[in-house]
Structure 1
Amino acid sequence: MSGIVIRRPRSARDFAGYYQTRWYTLRRPWHQPKGSERDGLEKVAVHLMAVEGRRVVGVARMHLSGPDVAQFRYMGVERRFRHRGIAQRLLRALEREARKRCVRIAWFNAREPAVPFYERCGYSVFDTSYTLYGCIPHWKMFKEL
């Protein structure tokens, strides 16, 4: 576990690995095409990745959705690296980045199976959200930072 580093992507190679891991963990299992892992906020967002050596094994993103509000998105860890604390480290790093920007509230749409993890990290469900691809229920969660 000590070999995993959480950092921002810096180079074109970093971003290629970052987006590949984002697609592989969050879109490929649902047969979505490459490109579906991106949206129109990529250039203004804060991107974080978990790296082992040169391999990107986890990803997370944050963008501001209001003057003191941030939305976290695209949290994913490769299956064989799960249950090692990587997601929690990514989440805590996003929270630090949010605090640097004077964010007071962080929120996101959590996939239903991930809700207990986020609750353990101090987040609370505040509303229902959408159902992705017709089969993945999401819940809106938040935390005061």
Structure 2
Amino acid sequence: MHAKIVDVDSILELRHKVLRHGKAFESCFYKEDRIASTIHLAAIIKDTIVSCATFYSEKNNHIAYKNSFRLRGMATEEKFRKKGFGKLLLKTAEKIISERGSNNLWCNARIKAVPFYLSCGYKIFGQLSDIQEIGSHYMRYKNI
């Protein structure tokens, strides 16, 4: 098992399958996907992507950090969940982002993912909010 930076096209199928199942394929695209500074990471076993996540620079007006990165699209194949792949992606991203001069990573986490982010050192910020057509989320952040 290892993590590496990949092209966005290699993770879209997994992102759609896990996060946007039943919705149009186009719903899994983010406007930041093709920005050169965006980081797409994949956890790989025997040349197969089993987990992925996307990270890009985005200021969060609720958190007082100038150079924050945002996590979006964290997705893991069901049979590979709770086996350390998500943590591997976060640790890899935190290292890369820190090297780029950022000291903060934030995301909107689905309720069912809250225990995972807690186990990785992420704190809850703010109230439960509803993201249209996706569901309830908590904002999470971590100083890195």
Q: TM-score interval w.r.t. the shorter chain?
A: 0.7 to 0.9
Partner of 1:142: 141
User: CA-atom RMSD, angstroms?
Assistant: 1.6
1:131 CA displacement: 2.0
1:52 CA displacement: 1.5
Partner of 2:63: none
Cα–Cα, structure 1 residues 41 and 16, in superposed 2: closer, same or farther, change >3 Å?
A: closer
List per-residue Cα deviations over 1:107-126 (Å, max 9, x = no partner). Answer: 10000111111111111101
CA distance in 2, matches of 1:24, 1:142: 25
Contact 1:61 1:94 in 2 (8 A): no
Partner of 1:57: 50
TM-score by length of 1: 0.86
List per-residue Cα deviations over 1:77-122 (Å, max 9, x = no partner). Answer: 0001111100110111111111011111111000011111111111
Counterpart residue identity of residue 14, structure 2: T
Mapping for residues 77-96 of structure 1, pairs under 5 Å: 77-96=76-95
Which consecutive segments of 4 or more residues in structure 1 shift more than 4 A?
A: none
1:135 CA displacement: 6.2
Query: What secondary structure does 2:34 align onto?
Result: coil
Q: Verify: 1:38 aligned to 2:29, yes or no.
A: yes
Identical pairs, percent: 25
CA distance in 2, matches of 1:144, 1:92: 12
CA distance in 2, matches of 1:134, 1:26: 11
| Runs of at least 5 residues in structure 1 that lack an aligned partner in the other structure | none
CA distance in 1, matches of 2:87, 2:103: 19
The count of aligned residue pairs is: 136
Q: Verify: 1:48 aligned to 2:47, yes or no.
A: no
CA distance in 2, matches of 1:135, 1:18: 19
